[in-house]
Amino acid sequence: MKNHGFRLFHVIVLPLIIFSLLSCSNPFDDWLNMSSSKEMIQSLTNGVRNARVTVGIVQNGEISFTVYGESGRVLPNREYIYDIGSISKAITGHLFARAIHENLITLADLDMSIDHFLNLPHKNYYPTIRRLLTHTSGYKYQYAYFTPPRPEPFANPFYGVTREMTLHHVRTINLENRDYEFEYSNFGLAVAGLVLESIFNKDYTSLVNEYFRNLGLNSTRVGNGTGNLSFHYRWNNDNPYIAAGGIVSTVVDLMKFAQMQMDNTISYAEYAYRTWAEDLDTAFDFPEIGMHTDAMGLGWHIDRSSNIIWHGGALDTFCTYMGFNVNEGIAVVVLSNIRSRMPTWVIGSQIFKELR
């Protein structure tokens, strides 16, 4: 367990300063002593006056959701807008699958280096699309010079980052032509977002907003600082980090989005959640809570032992989870306006166990 704690702290906990999958320290004992998702939600919301935790479930073709407030009290059903953080990375991967479907790129192009799509000087090697989306590119989690002092608490630490700033650092980073060990990278997904813009010849914000409107998911969009909860991030329009963590959504939209992938409404979604990198040490290997993640799709985490495809996200005041099992037709969404010791992916994993 000590090795897990060290790995968890260095790979996951430190990155939570900005974006992350998880939250806080190493609370294994607390998690393991809780027997149900309701107990977890009660612990998460205990004493938090404005808590809003929304749990959505898709099963047997039906969708339903429950909203919890302080100390786990069930509230009237209302759709809240949540900053979904790093679930945006999975959506970015999904849009690459769409590009394949529309013959803008081929499957083979995923192993093409990014200088084929971006205006970059000649260099022996730049990462490939596949390596960016599977976090095997060699890019670090984040580069410190992109995090200026915040103008106010809970302000978006990436506000003001531009395409040119990002491309400048791409030009200065030297890597070898190989699959690196898994290292979760916001920077890598920001670069992938720039590649996506080049492929579609459209800025990422317009691409996302138009795509989800066409799907009838009208509450899913790039964040603009507005919503019905507190401290939503505001983004400048040309910010590449939107592709890594800048999308907002609701529980109903995310449940419908999961259902569309499971029932083949979006026929090309399989490109996104098939295995593109395997036998990875992702730091998500916790059998005690029913999680073993050792592979990556295009932005999606894959638990091959349970066939759960998932992603989580966290910002300063939001923590989110979305997971689905295509074979069983089950999806779970957990959205919280609390970032604490109890990450939503723990609750989501527990709900999957209870549904089975």
CA 117/CA 265 separation, integer angstroms: 29
The closest of 141, 139, 166, 136 to 15, measured between CA atoms, is: 141
Q: Which of 222, 244, 266 represents a domain boundary (last residue)?
A: 244
Give pLDDT, residue 218.
97
Domain with 198 in it: what CATH number?
3.40.710.10
Same domain for 69 and 117?
A: no
Which of these three, 244, 266, 295, is where a domain ends? 244
Under 8 Å between Cβ of 302 and 4 = no
Residue numbers in the chain where pLDDT is lower than 50? 1-26
Which residues, in sequence order, are bridge partners of residue 75?
67
Q: What is the pLDDT of residue 16?
A: 40
Q: SS3 sequence, the chain?
A: CHHHHHHHHHHHHHHHHCCECCCCCCCHHHHHCCCCHHHHHHHHHCCCCCCCEEEEEEECCEEEEEEECHHHCEECCCCCCEECCCHHHHHHHHHHHHHHHCCCCCCHHHHCEHHHCCCCCCCCCCCEHHHHHCCCCCCCCCCHHHCCCCCCCCCCCCCCCCHHHHHHHHHHCCCCCCCCCCCCCHHHHHHHHHHHHHHHCCCHHHHHHHHHHHCCCCCCEECCCCCCCCCCCCCCCCCCCHHHHCEEECHHHHHHHHHHHHCCCCCCHHHHHCCCECCCCCCCEEHHHCEECCEECCCCEEECCCCEEEEEEECCCCEEEEEEECCCCEEEEEEECCCCCCCHHHHHHHHHHHHC
For residue 355, give both structure tokens. Answer: 């549904």
The per-residue pLDDT for 153 is 78
Classify residue 92: in a domain, yes or no: yes
Could you tell me the strand order of the sheet in which 62-68 lies? Answer: 74-75, 62-68, 53-59, 330-336, 319-325, 308-314, 301-303, 295-296
Are 57 and 97 in a shared domain? no
* Tokens of residue 79, six digits: 């759709």
Same domain, 142 and 103: yes
Shared domain for 52 and 109, answered yes or no, is no
Q: How far apart are CA 97 and CA 285, in angstroms?
A: 27
CA 292 to chain centre: 17
Residue 14: predicted pLDDT: 36
Q: Which residue has the tokens 């953080």?
A: 85
Evaluate whether 330 touches 311 at the Cβ level (below 8 Å): no
Q: What sign results for the dihedral spanned by CA atoms 15, 16, 22, 23?
A: positive
Amino acid 144: pLDDT? 53
Displacement of CA 284 from its chain's centroid (Å): 14
The confidence score (pLDDT) of residue 147 equals 61
173 in the same domain as 92: yes
pLDDT at 12: 40
Q: Are residues 35 and 102 in the same domain?
A: no
Q: Name the residue range of residue 280's domain.
A: 2-84+246-355
Give domain status of residue 220, yes or no.
no
Q: How many domains does the chain have?
A: 2
Same domain, yes or no: 80 and 96? no
On whether the CB atoms of residues 316 and 82 are closer than 8 A, the answer is no
Whether 260 and 269 have beta carbons less than 8 Å apart is answered as yes
pTM: 0.90
Looking at the structure, tell me whether residues 193 and 121 fall in a common domain: yes
CA distance 74 to 232: 24
Distance (Å, rounded) from C-alpha 331 to C-alpha 308?
9
